[in-house]
Amino acid sequence: MKRVAVLGGGPAGAFAAEQLASAGLAVTLIDEKLAWEKPCGGGLTYKAYSRYPFLIENSIPKRLVTETVLAAPRASAVTLKMSDPLVVYSRFDLNRMLLERAERAGAQIEKVRVTGMSRSGPVWQLRTGSGVLEADFCIVATGARNPLRDVGTQLAPSDTMAALGYYVPGEQAGIDIQFLPRLEGYIWIFPRCGHLSVGICGKGEPAAALRKRLELFMNERGLPWKGSAFYSHLLPSLETRSWRNNRVAGEGWMAVGDAAGLVDPITGEGIYYAMRSADLATRSLLALPGDLAAQSAHYRTALRRDFTADLEFGSRLAKRVFLGRFLLSAVTTRTVQFTARSPRFAAIMQDLFAGRQPYLGLKRRLMRNLKGSLYEIAMSLGFARLLPGSLPAKPSL
């Protein structure tokens, strides 16, 4: 294989181009916008920067956020301290850093739109705004609104969430997460360099209804939305069955990042999975040169082992987390209450936020800690005297 075309220059495409160019392949990355302020929180978890330390060890402007305020209907808000901060970037800055790394590694970067692709024998012909480009292999990294219909995941409406919001002037130290009644999603306030990103994501609800919910919330919080810059985009949020048949690779191509639907169906985190899938795709490509079928199979297996089995399980949990009930109340309400009253439960939440606690294994950890958590909750509610462990010792005879 001589020439690889990387279609799309977001985190997935830029990272794939860097890896392949570093390995000595002739790489052309094509993006219609190059670095741009994609609608996105821009938040990177511990999971992301512990695997790729250059994401935190650099001089690019960023915010390190160490607390999140969680709130839900009928539960007082609770502040969750994060032992490992969330790193928040402007997407323009993050994309630019990743594209510069790709260029330094030797990738050729072109700012043009890909309008179509076809295969003639072993060669791809890519139609672009400035002519036709030939390549032996394509990495498809064109994001959630991938216009190239024959490659990448096939997102049904039920496999997506709308995500929209406003950039609002303002300043605050922590993140706010607000759960809402009957919404498979949440509202966020992210502090960024110089402004706040206030947004909402939700599955199964039209964007207009989500926007109304968000504006109502912003009115209640005194956050101005009239006159603030509005953003909206699509978030892949695959249903459980869609994870099984997800089209991530084919003859002469592999899809990475949002173009492969690789987003956490509960949190909406996608930047880490964009970079990780790019990493796995390039390794598969380099491990089995020339054997297209084996490369595809290798990539599918690597994804499943690394994180898609976990995200598939997360897609099963999502409805229970956002819409389920526990002890006569919404799960989201109980989650906030338990976080406030049980340090053990709060530690699990911290690990979930940092990406240290996978969804597979979460139930086991919750069950293992259940007695201890309930004990802590009962103590915090003032039931100490009713608990067997806290009865006064029998007077000795």
Ligand X SMILES: Cc1cc2nc3c(=O)[nH]c(=O)nc-3n(C[C@H](O)[C@H](O)[C@H](O)COP(=O)(O)OP(=O)(O)OC[C@H]3O[C@@H](n4cnc5c(N)ncnc54)[C@H](O)[C@@H]3O)c2cc1C
| Binding interface with ligand X (CB under 6 A) | 8-13, 30-33, 38-43, 113-114, 141-143, 147, 163, 199, 233, 235, 257-259, 263, 268-272, 274
- Cβ-based nearer residue to ligand X, 163 or 238: 163
Provide the minimum distance between the beta carbon of 385 and ligand X in the complex, in angstroms, as a whole number: 45
Element holding 323 (H helix, E strand): helix 309-323
- Any residues with CB less than 8 A from the CB of 327 and at least 6 apart, and which? 334
- Provide Rg for the chain, Cα atoms: 23
Q: How far is the CB of 239 from ligand X (least distance, A)?
A: 17
Q: Could you tell me which residues come within 8 angstroms of residue 283 by beta carbon, excluding any fewer than 6 positions away?
A: 19, 302
What is the smallest separation between the CB atom of 355 and ligand X, expressed in angstroms? 10
Closest CA to 89 of 55, 57, 66: 55
Rounded to whole angstroms, how far apart are CA atoms 109 and 236? 26
Residue type, 326: F
- Backbone φ, ψ for residue 109 (5° rounding): -110, 130
What DSSP state is assigned to residue 54? Answer: G
The residue at minimum Cβ distance from ligand X is: 270
Q: Which is nearer to ligand X, 28 or 335 (CB)?
A: 28
Beta strands in 172-270 (DSSP E): 175-178, 184-192, 195-203, 229-236, 249-250, 253-255
List 124's β-bridge partners, or say none.
119, 135
Pairing state between β 325-326 and 329-330: antiparallel
Taking the least distance from each CB to ligand X, the nearer of 143 and 252 is: 143
CB of 384 to ligand X, least distance (A): 40
Residue 7 or 336: which CB sits closer to ligand X?
Answer: 7
Nearest CB to ligand X, comparing residues 33 and 316: 33
Residue in the block written with tokens 């173009």: 259
Closer CB to ligand X, 63 or 341, in the complex: 63
Which CB sits closer to ligand X, 55 or 340? Answer: 55
Other beta carbons less than 10 A from residue 382's beta carbon: 8
Shortest approach of ligand X to residue 13 CB, angstroms? 6
Question: What is the smallest separation between the CB atom of 393 and ligand X, expressed in angstroms?
Answer: 52
Phi-psi region of 178 (alpha: psi -120 to 50; beta: other; left: phi over 0): beta
- Rounded to the nearest 10°, the torsion over CA 355, 253, 244, 161 is 60
Give the nearest distance from C-beta 283 to ligand X in angstroms: 17
Q: Least Å distance between CB 234 and ligand X?
A: 7
Answer whether 205's CB lies under 8 Å from 162's CB: yes
Q: Strand 3-7 and strand 137-140: pairing?
A: parallel
Pick the closer one to ligand X by CB: 163 or 183. Answer: 163
Nearer to ligand X, 49 or 313 (CB): 49
* Paired strand residues for 202: 162, 185
Q: Which is nearer to ligand X, 160 or 284 (CB)?
A: 160
State which H helix or E strand residue 124 sits in: strand 123-128
Rounded to a whole number of angstroms, the minimum distance from the CB of residue 42 to ligand X is: 5
How near is the Cβ of 383 to ligand X at its closest, in Å?
Answer: 39
